[in-house]
């Protein structure tokens, strides 16, 4: 019997008693592994071979993982520094502990993200407390990294999954195929088998000479393995942001843009936020050690200062608290994107605006929050406002109902709230599709007279700040935004997830 040369080679190398892998057969025959695989499947289909498949999983340290084997996991280093600073007895300023830990750059965010998750302690209002009962020496992830560095096996799959999600370990999955001669294959070899000359492609020369009629063509196995190719893709947050942009544009809104680092004047002072408000301390804002911003409209600065000191209108009274122009000019990362609204409403960004107007932005904001499933140090805010005559809270609620209905979210609830810059104000809540719990998804209200009059706006303005990540939670049922954003992201989830339309 004549068979293709590759099939004959595989038959002769295979055994009826000892399973042999594709790689071993490739070594013995001198053929490429993919050629052996194709031949094995073809022989299996003819009944001459048995092919068994098993999944082999191997784990190897990434460069970052190897670094942490030497220096220690960031959260472990932070915990040890906290213990040395006495945080197991009384809370200690977070900056002091970070400074003594030697952590720098991205390691700080990684340490903060994992410190609470592992039960090493808590971070609240910029202070860090440590649990004296925690045992950093027995940190499961640190022990697993050390074991993998020694080529030892790690049995805890949950720990391995966590290390993979942190990009400290690479998981390599491989299908291992083993080949065994069947009874028919043994019989065929005993009867004798010859190699038939085969060709794997049709050439112009074969067509012109007529040779194609006498040759045997290699069969193609469409089930043969092919290398997995993973190209880049747009992050699901960006996909959702683009969809939000399409929805708001369709509702007649224009997009705002502006700096991430800005003068405190635009971030807070224009919003009638007193300069001694807790949210403006170093505990909650990220102040930058750079020269102050000098390019501020002087007349607007004067009007804003007057509103803070004396209030607005005959019944205005101001805050009776310190106000410093130096503080107003200081630079910080914006804690909300309402700084863009102030720039646009004042006419500073695009010139004076006539009513009616609708504007929005979808950009990052930065806050020194305690990290948890719904809070990160940076997040995307859906900022928006409408300027028109005779607006009311009913118009604001209707806008939200129209906006969220575009994403299949109809169960909205509103709760009265206090903001220094809006009155009336309310928070928005949506129902989580998996837990059925209400989660806060935004804050909103009608800008106060103390905000609008210094800006030169003489009509109503309703405004809001919504969390893009919270919208994502309601759309997909995520219960932890760290799965999709930040250093603990689930990469497999991000590769497979597609935005809902």
Q: Pick out the residues of the known binding site.
A: 338, 381-383, 421, 423, 447
The partner residues of 261 in beta bridges, in order of sequence, read 333
What is the radius of gyration, based on Cα positions, of the chain?
33
Q: Is 157 helix (H, G, I), strand (E, B) or coil?
A: helix
- Is the Cβ–Cβ distance between 254 and 358 less than 8 Å? yes
Binding-site residue set for L-phenylalanine = 338, 381-383, 421, 447
The partner residues of 387 in beta bridges, in order of sequence, read 357, 461
Binding-site residue set for Mg(2+) = 423
Q: Is 439 helix (H, G, I), strand (E, B) or coil?
A: strand
Residues 6 or more apart from 134 whose CB is under 8 A from it?
A: 79, 118, 119, 120, 121
Residue 427 backbone phi and psi in degrees, to 5: -95, 155
CA atoms of 499 and 244, how far apart (whole Å):
11
CA atoms of 145 and 162, how far apart (whole Å):
11
Q: How many CA atoms lie less than 13 Å away from 14 in the CB half-sphere?
A: 31
Q: Is the peptide bond before 424 cis (omega within 30 degrees of 0)?
A: yes
- Is the Cβ–Cβ distance between 104 and 477 less than 8 Å? no
Q: In this structure, what is the dihedral angle of CA atoms 135, 140, 143, 148, given to the nearest 10 degrees?
A: -170
Q: How many CA atoms lie less than 13 Å away from 4 in the CB half-sphere?
A: 20
Q: In this structure, what is the dihedral angle of CA atoms 480, 360, 367, 266, given to the nearest 10 degrees?
A: 180
CA–CA–CA angle 362, 366, 370 (5° rounding): 125
Residue from 219, 251, 242, 179 nearest 395 by CA: 251
CA atoms of 77 and 14, how far apart (whole Å):
54
Residue 409 backbone phi and psi in degrees, to 5: -110, 115
- Is the Cβ–Cβ distance between 473 and 432 less than 8 Å? yes
């Amino acid at each position: 019997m004549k068979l293709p040369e590759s099939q004959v080679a595989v038959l002769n190398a295979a055994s009826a008693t000892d399973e042999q892998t594709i790689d071993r057969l490739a070594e013995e025959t001198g053929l490429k592994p993919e050629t052996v695989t194709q031949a094995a499947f073809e022989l299996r289909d003819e009944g001459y071979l048995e092919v068994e498949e098993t999944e082999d999983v191997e784990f190897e340290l990434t460069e970052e993982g190897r670094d942490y084997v030497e220096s220690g996991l960031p959260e472990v280093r932070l915990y040890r520094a906290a213990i040395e600073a006495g945080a197991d007895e009384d809370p200690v300023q977070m900056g002091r502990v970070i400074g003594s830990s030697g952590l720098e750059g991205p390691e700080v965010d990684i340490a903060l993200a994992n410190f609470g998750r592992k039960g090493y302690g808590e971070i609240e209002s910029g202070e860090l407390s440590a649990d004296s009962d925690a045992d950093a020496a027995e940190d499961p992830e640190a022990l697993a990294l050390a074991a993998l560095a020694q080529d030892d096996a790690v049995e805890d799959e949950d720990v391995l999954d966590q290390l993979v999600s942190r990009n400290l370990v690479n998981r390599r999955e491989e299908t291992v195929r083993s080949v065994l001669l069947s009874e028919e294959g043994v019989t065929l070899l005993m009867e004798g088998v010859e190699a038939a000359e085969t060709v794997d492609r049709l050439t112009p020369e074969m067509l012109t000479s007529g040779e194609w009629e006498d040759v045997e063509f290699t069969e193609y196995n469409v089930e043969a393995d092919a290398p997995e190719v993973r190209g880049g893709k747009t992050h699901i947050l960006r996909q959702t942001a683009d969809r939000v942009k399409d929805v708001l544009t369709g509702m007649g809104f224009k997009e705002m843009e502006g700096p991430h680092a800005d003068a405190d004047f635009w971030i807070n002072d224009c919003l009638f936020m007193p300069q001694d408000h807790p949210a403006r301390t170093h505990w909650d804002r990220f102040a930058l050690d750079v020269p102050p911003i000098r390019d501020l409209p002087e007349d607007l600065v004067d009007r804003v200062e007057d509103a803070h000191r004396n209030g607005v209108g005959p019944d205005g009274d101001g805050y009776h608290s310190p106000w410093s122009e130096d503080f107003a000019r200081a630079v910080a990362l914006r804690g909300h994107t309402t700084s863009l609204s102030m720039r646009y409403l004042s006419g500073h960004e695009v010139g004076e605006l006539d009513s009616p107007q609708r504007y929005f932005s979808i950009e990052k904001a930065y806050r020194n929050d305690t990290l948890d499933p719904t809070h990160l140090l940076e997040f995307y805010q859906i900022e928006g406002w409408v300027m028109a005559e005779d607006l009311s809270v009913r118009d604001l609620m209707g806008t939200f109902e129209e906006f969220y209905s575009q994403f299949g979210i109809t169960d909205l609830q509103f709760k009265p709230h206090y903001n220094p810059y809006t009155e009336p104000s309310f928070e928005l809540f949506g129902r989580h599709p998996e837990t059925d719990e209400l989660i806060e998804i935004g804050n909103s209200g009608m800008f106060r007279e103390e905000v609008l009059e210094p800006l030169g706006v003489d009509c109503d303005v309703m405004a809001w700040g919504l969390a893009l990540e919270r919208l994502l939670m309601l759309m997909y049922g995520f219960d932890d935004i760290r799965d999709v954003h930040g250093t603990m992201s689930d990469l497999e989830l991000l590769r497979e997830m597609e935005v809902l339309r």
